[in-house]
Amino acid sequence: MLDKLVSTGKNSTRDGFGVGIYELAKQNPDVVALTADLAGSLRLDDFIKDFPDRFIQVGIAEANMIGLASGLSIGGKIPYATTFANFATGRVYDQIRQSVAYSHKNVKICASHAGVTLGEDGATHQILEDLGMMKMLPGFTVINPCDFEQTRQATLAIAEHYGPVYLRFGRPSWPIFTEPFKFEIGKAILMSEGTDVSIFATGHLMWNAIEAAKKLAAEGISCELINIHTIKPLDEEAILDSVSKTRAVVTAEEHQMYGGLGSSIAQLLARKIPTPMEMVAVNDSFGESGTPIELLTKYGLGVSDVVTAIKKVLARK
Amino acid sequence: MATIQELKRIASQVRRDIIRQVHYADSGHPGGSLGCADFLTALYFEVMHHDPKFNMKAEGEDVFFLSNGHISPVWYSVLARSGYFPVEELATFRKLNSRVQGHPATHEGLPGIRVASGSLGQGMSVAIGMALAKKMNSDKKLVFVLTGDGELQEGQNWEAIMFAAHNKIDNLIVTVDYNGQQIDGSTEQVLSLGNLAAKWAAFGWDVMEIQGNDMEHLVKNLNIAKAKTGQGKPIVILMHTEMGYGVDYMMGSHKWHGKAPDAALTEKALAQLEETLGDYPYPYQGKLYSH
């Protein structure tokens, strides 16, 4: 199974969003797109060309954008509010909390350029706290797809789900490897079976986890690879099933260690099956300028970091 | 069509409801609520086309949003008195297991409320979103929103104001409760709003300035505002009100912005407000909301 996990090409997750929302707009006339002066970065060009009446340019005014999206949803639309992840969450947290989450509006907050793989722009834009903030909001669905294809599928799927959604993706060109897998909200994907350790990964780090598992397979270590694209609601059953078999866990995410996927899984396991666990995540730090690969390496999110974490947890087993 | 006399009688009962809600809850915001009692009565009993058989999407209906959510007692009274929910439920204001929350909310399903408000500065954006949806749906009905004047200190409003003018949101009537008071004192002392009329005009809005505690004047001017819709500009009404209007000891001061009167002062207030539609009983005997 592991050797079938190969890259069939490269493209960014944000391009997956752009293709997805264009496809969706053709199917669903209620879908509208908003952006705060970042239409090109969010790959909305095709949408704007063919559906100009369903596109709303808000200008550099994210707080207003969230309110507009809430109002549009009251009127029966399915608004996709788009900008960079930093401006889509932390900057407008109270607007999201009151006008979207507490009011249970059918708003889709679609955020690109999350994490250190944003690269050269540096830490002002590299949000690493967004998953934590958004999963804290009652009733919010939080999704962090791992490649172009999964982002495309997720963009389509969230329109079918009534309620507030945070869809997080990124800037860099990245391997595409999920074509055989169907995306379903809240359903973890078992990408490769294994017996020694469960690896739960989300977003770009899913690929690094695959590469790490391949390296360790050569050393006779069998990794179970599970993709957690939906951070909330968490697929507890899939996690517990795997952990009861392997009894060792590594999580991997492009996010702060505090508040991300790792902490969600640790909370679950502490209650249900206390298990040795290591977390590949940013350790209470801001990022900086650099290329995506340089930054992943420096901030402990590279393939070798996943390998180290697996060996560490196996030693504790 | 209600006569001016009938509207005044309704507004008197609404003011009684405000005082009683706040008194029994021993908390809440009577000052701004009393100041806007005439406006909300005029809207719900005369100016807006709306259906108390509540429908969230409001297709073919005018809609109202309250951005300054802390004046919830006046909105609750007007909603209940126009048939959205039983008047008796006003007795549960701010109490446990109630749909009548401290600030307006959709979470418990109170009919008439379409979005939560209370954290200030958000309502105008939501109203503009609804106005956009109405345009997309070819629905000719209007969107009304009330905001406080102190609330305009929140920057999000000015994002919304710029957006509405740029996008010719002309199915929208914003009203500013221009009472010059906020929690810490007068707006002039706390953070001056400057020349509000000139500011809105400079942003490209059609600006009206009216009196908010004179029913005849209010109804006439709200109808004028309606007639101005559909002409390519959003409309703002700077509505001069007096905080606490109708209760002598609450008028002319910010001190009753967020404070409940005790039993003696409640008696004193109610003695000044005619009971026209019948007070709701207290305590509440009906079914409670529970999560």
| Domain coordinates in residue numbering, chain A | 11-175, 189-316
Q: How far apart are CA B8 and CA B12, in angstroms?
A: 6
Q: Locate the domains of chain B by residue range.
A: 4-271
C-alpha span between A102 and A93 (Å, rounded): 12
The pLDDT value recorded for residue B1 is 77
Dihedral angle computed from the Cα positions of residues A150, A153, A154 and A159, in that order, rounded to the nearest 10 degrees: 170
Contact B129 A72 (CB under 8 A): yes
* Angle, CA A261 vertex, CA A258 and CA A263 arms, to 5°: 45
Q: How far is CA B43 from the centre of its chain?
A: 9
Using the Cβ of B169 and the Cβ atoms of chain A, whether some distance falls under 8 Å is answered with no
Beta-carbon contacts of B148 under 8 Å, excluding residues fewer than 6 positions away, are B32, B67, B68, B71, B120, B176, B177, B182
**Which residue of B136, B137, B140, B172 to mutate against A (max A Cβ within 10 Å)?**
B136
Query: Six-digit token pair at A202?
Result: 């989300």
Q: Is there a contact between A255 and A281 (Cβ–Cβ < 8 Å)? A: yes
pLDDT in tens, chain A (317 residues): 899 999 999 999 999 999 999 999 999 999 999 999 999 999 999 999 999 999 999 999 999 999 999 999 999 999 999 999 999 999 999 999 999 999 999 999 999 999 999 999 999 999 999 999 999 999 999 999 999 999 999 999 999 999 999 999 999 999 999 999 999 999 999 999 999 999 999 999 999 999 999 999 999 999 999 999 999 999 999 999 999 999 999 999 999 999 999 999 999 999 999 999 999 999 999 999 999 999 999 999 999 999 999 999 999 99
* Residues in chain A within 8 Å Cβ distance of B160: 64, 67
Indicate if the pLDDT at residue B47 is higher than 90: yes
Distance CA A196, CA A245 (A): 8
Q: What percent of chain B has pLDDT over 70?
A: 100
Q: What gap in Å lies between CA B185 and CA A12, rounded to an integer?
A: 53
Residue type, B291: H
Residue A111 bridge partners (DSSP): A83, A168
Q: Is A64 on the interface with B (CB under 8 A)?
A: yes
Residue whose token pair is 């390519």: B232
Quote the pLDDT of residue A191. Answer: 98
pLDDT band at B252, cuts 50/70/90?
A: confident
Using the CB atoms, write b or e for A47-77: b if 16+ within 10 Å.
Answer: bbeebeebbbbbeebbbbbbbbbbbbbbbbb
ipTM: 0.98
Which CATH number does B4-271 carry?
A: 3.40.50.970
- Specify the DSSP class assigned to residue A114: -
**Other beta carbons within 10 Å of B221:** 20
pLDDT of residue A78: 99
Written out in words, the top-level CATH class of the domain with range A11-175 is alpha beta
**DSSP assignment letter at B279:** P
What is the pLDDT averaged over residues B131-154? Answer: 98
Closest to B218 (Cα-Cα) out of B64, B69, B7: B7
Contacts of B59 in chain A (CB under 8 A): 76
Residue located via tokens 């958004």: A134
For residue B276, count other CB atoms closer than 10 A to its CB: 14
Report the pLDDT value the prediction gives residue B196, as an integer from 0 to 100.
98
Mutate to test the interface with B, among A58, A64, A72 (most CBs of B within 10 A): A64
The model's confidence at residue B235, banded by pLDDT at 50, 70 and 90, is: very high
CB B179 within 8 A of CB B245: no
Q: At a CB cut-off of 8 Å and minimum separation 6, what does A278 contact?
A: A249, A250, A251, A309, A310, A312, A313
Q: Which residue of A has its CA nearest to B59?
A: A75
Residues from chain A that touch B131, judged by Cβ atoms under 8 A, are 71
Q: Cβ-count burial of A78 within 10 angstroms (0-12 exposed, 13-18 middle, 19+ buried)?
A: buried
pLDDT at residue B9 in the model:
98
- B181 is written with which tokens? 């008071």
Structure confidence by residue, pLDDT tens digits, B157-198: 999 999 999 999 999 999 999 999 999 999 999 999 999 999
Q: Decide: B162 and B154 in contact? Cβ < 8 Å.
A: no
Domain A11-175 identical in fold to domain A189-316: yes
Q: In this complex, is the C-beta atom of B163 within 8 Å of any C-beta atom belonging to chain A? A: yes
State the burial class of residue A21 (Cβ atoms within 10 Å of its Cβ: 0-12, 13-18, 19+): buried
A68 near B CB under 8 A: yes
The rounded Cα B85 to chain-centroid distance in angstroms is: 17
**According to the model, what pLDDT value does residue A93 have?**
98
Residue B39 corresponds to which amino acid? F
Strands (E), B117-261: 143-148, 172-178, 181-182, 185-186, 206-211, 235-240
Q: Which fold does the domain A189-316 belong to in CATH?
A: Rossmann fold (3.40.50)
- Partnered with residue B153 across adjacent β-strands are none
Residue B253: the pLDDT is 82
Instruction: Return d(Cα B126, Cα B106) in angstroms, integer.
Output: 14
Nearest to B132 among A68, A95, A105 (CB): A68
Expressed in percent and rounded to 5, the helix, strand and coil fractions of chain A are: 45, 20, 35
Whether the CB-CB separation of A161 and A134 falls below 8 Å is answered with no
For strands A189-192 and A223-227, give the pairing.
Answer: antiparallel
CA dist., res. B97 & res. A135, Å (int): 26
Cα dihedral A29, A188, A85, A159 in deg (nearest 10): 10
